[in-house]
Amino acid sequence: MTTRSERDRISRFRRSLTDFFRSVKPQPSASQEEECPSSNLPDSQHTSSKRKASASAPSSPLSYRFKRKRPVLTLPSSPSPTSAKAVEPTSTPSGPLLFPPPSSTPPSSVSRETVVLPPTPSHFTQTFDEESDSSLGSRSDRSRSVSSESINSLASSGSPWVSGPRERRQDVADAKRVLKTIEELKSGTYAVKKGGPGGKYLIERTLHYRGYQKLWEELRKEAHKELLKYVEKEWFRFDYIPRPCKGSKQFVIHMPSVFHEGMVGGFNTEIVKWLSDIQTGTLCTVQSTKDETMKAATKIRPVTAATVRRAGPHGGRMEPDLSFVYEGCTIADLVVEVAWSQRKLKLPERAKRFIDLKKGRIRTVVGLNMIDIYRGGRGATFSVWRAQHVGNNWIRTAVVENQSFLDENGQAVKDCSLHLSLKDFICEEQEHLQKPFEDVPLEIPSTKLYDLYRQAFIVHVLGKAEEEMDEVLENADAAVKEMLRAKKMIQEQKVKDPRNRTVMEKKDLAEVWRVISKVEDNVNKMKHTIGGVEEKMKKVDEKLEIVERKKVEVEKRVAEFETEMAEMREEAEKMVEAEEANEEESSEPEHITSEKSVAEAPESGTPRATQPPPSSPRTPEKSRRYRLRSMRLTPKR
């Protein structure tokens, strides 16, 4: 505890310090007043509160802070750097100057030197595609994948993509997964996962370029020789896009569909018929170019298994649904895509990639959007894109986009047609080499597109209905086998008790009820499937006789099955466990007698209540079992 004299001495010391600071207070110049008009101390910054003040500075109104002497680093407009000058601190012979005297120069007058840093050259500069990030995939996909579309990208420059051991292990795992999927497709054991992005007709897998290389290394091994033949077949269609759009994956397998193939086949038939009319001169109106026009039409042929590849170290591949190639052209000139189980944003993206992959050599892309029908609706649209040369690049230009040819009720839209011409089927290089010919127009009205849709839809719906009915018959056969097994079990092991009930062992009775429950579930599924078949058949006007006969056969089979199930359930309700029957028989009072003892009671003259129960070789054993069981179940006291 401090004394009074000590407190007075401290107070006098504080007052002397305050007087000292007031005496050495410098007068700011005019320039300083303009720079800091709100401060009456040299280059000070007032601390309005204790929160803003530093931990070492006093919180009194007289406290101030010196401006920093550290040089400010800025980038000049000129590339030539300026050397920095060191600022020497002001000192006295006796030591460093802690507080500036009145005659000293204020801290604000110390000249500031600007330190210039030369621009650092970047060794990691690269250009990306002109596509936005939202259309090129997630950040993780962009970080691992390499663009195959940019000329100045890492892929096209030939520099190797550096990846760590973790990425390499993941690529190997992805390749093995794709290989397993192909093996399951070949053996027919692939199970379709519901809720996938492409439904049951598109199988998407993540597979970066190193994994894609690893996949082909595995396929070329002797152990996978048969699998390689399966992949190289024409009907096995798959796309590999190293840098897919957002929400998609690199490796996509296209599964065949009745409706999809029906639309593609119908569209192909319509174009081939139009080309035949040109070859015969029926549609030629200009006599001077008739021969050249007919000759040009004979050089166009349809291709259903074309593969569009991208040249380069990391090039991808795409397989269109239908393409037409002109003689002398190295790639398809017109491409037809039918979007049946794909998303809406994917069809324009595929058209862009077709045009970009071959730098405009694919001249026209026709897209039929049937996604609404796949989802249960009735509407459909078509689009036409053409390649356009702008500067040094080829871009996709929409001639017609999302033109409806089927309304929401599935009817043809009036005054709507798909327009093409003969030049759409000839690449630009060959067009300049040909002699003048007539650009014969092709018009496919919405009514014709409706007929193509209707025919493909009928075959698709009835085909699905037939598949489901075959599935019902298979389930019925399997259920019949289960029922026969349960009936055989009942016939072999059942024992009748005095109450005319079927007595079975506990585990056997549980197995019978399990079979009955399983068969009933199968019956309910079959009835539900038949209801779905009826709904599908209502969507089409025409009825196929084969499908109708099979439907009647299935309904009759299910009805017979339900009758057998009802009889089996009625018999199962009379079953009882052997142990339960023994307990019930042993728990009966002794004066309760059987019908035989009651009938003999009057003759013997013995009262009815005292008649003993009929003797049975099993009675003592049952009583003894029940007595021992009762002793085991009696709680201890």
User: Which pLDDT band holds residue 590 (cuts at 50, 70, 90)?
Assistant: very low
Q: Percent of the chain at pLDDT above 90?
A: 20
| pLDDT band per the 50, 70, 90 thresholds, residue 20 | low
DSSP H stretches of helix in 220-345: 225-231, 258-279, 290-298
Whether 79 has a pLDDT exceeding 60, the answer reads no
Contacts of residue 290, Cβ cutoff 8 Å, sequence gap at least 6: 281, 284, 438
Report how far residue 634's alpha carbon sits from residue 637's, in angstroms, rounded to the nearest whole number: 9
Closest CA to 99 of 151, 168, 22, 172: 22
* Tokens read off for 35: 């720079």
pLDDT tens string 262-274: 999 999 999 999 9
pTM of the model: 0.58
In Å, how far are 59, 532, 533 from 462, measured between CA atoms?
A: 90, 12, 9
> In the prediction, which pLDDT does 494 show?
58
Report residue 172's pLDDT band, with 50, 70 and 90 as the boundaries.
very high
Residue 602 has pLDDT above 70, yes or no: no
The predicted model gives 26-47 an average pLDDT of 46
Q: 488-531: per-residue pLDDT in tens?
A: 777 766 555 566 666 777 777 788 788 888 888 888 888 888 88
Highest average pLDDT, of 20-34, 174-188, 378-392, 611-625, comes from 174-188
Higher pLDDT, residue 19 or 57: 19
Distance of CA 81 to CAs 112, 117, 211, 475, Å? 16, 6, 48, 85
Predicted pLDDT at 364: 92
Q: Each residue of 82-102: pLDDT tens digit?
A: 444 444 444 444 444 344 444
Distance of alpha carbon 442 from alpha carbon 454, whole angstroms: 21
CA distances from 54 to 59, 401, 557 (A): 9, 66, 92
Looking at the predicted structure, is the pLDDT value of residue 256 above 70?
A: yes
User: Does CATH number 1.20.58 belong to domain 456-579?
Assistant: yes
> Are the CB atoms for 477 and 458 separated by under 8 Å?
no
Rounded to whole angstroms, how far apart are CA atoms 122 and 114? 24
The predicted model gives 131-151 an average pLDDT of 36
Q: Give the H or E element holding residue 418.
A: strand 417-421
Average pLDDT (135-160) is 37
Cα–Cα nearest to 423, from 412, 408, 436, 407: 436
**Residue 361: what pLDDT?**
80
Q: Any idea which residue has 């496919």 for tokens?
A: 444
Q: Which is higher by pLDDT, 500 or 599?
A: 500
Q: How confident is the model at residue 580 (pLDDT cuts 50, 70, 90)?
A: low
Residue 384 has pLDDT above 60, yes or no: yes
Distance in angstroms (rounded) separating the CA atoms of residues 55 and 532? 79
| pLDDT reading at 130 higher than 60 | no
Predicted confidence band of residue 535 (pLDDT cuts 50, 70, 90): confident
Q: What is the pLDDT of residue 449?
A: 94
Per residue in 284-330, pLDDT (tens digit) is 999 999 999 999 999 999 987 677 776 555 567 888 889 999 988 87
Determine the pLDDT at residue 14: 67
Q: Are 614 and 594 spatial neighbours (Cβ–Cβ below 8 Å)?
A: yes
CB-CB contact of 596 with 553 (8 Å)? no
Where are the domains positioned within the chain? 135-254, 258-439, 456-579
The answer to whether 236 and 194 are in contact (CB under 8 A) is: no
Residue 3, pLDDT > 90, answer no
| Rounded mean pLDDT, 414-442 | 90
Average pLDDT, the chain: 70
State the number of CA atoms in the 13 A half-sphere of 98 facing the CB: 2
Per-residue model confidence as pLDDT tens digits over 178-226:
999 999 988 888 887 765 555 677 888 999 989 999 999 999 999 999 9
- Given a cut of 50, is residue 40 above it in pLDDT? no
Contacts 24+ apart (CB under 8 A), 356-359: 356/149, 356/394, 356/396, 357/308, 357/309, 357/310, 357/316, 357/318, 358/308, 358/331, 359/394
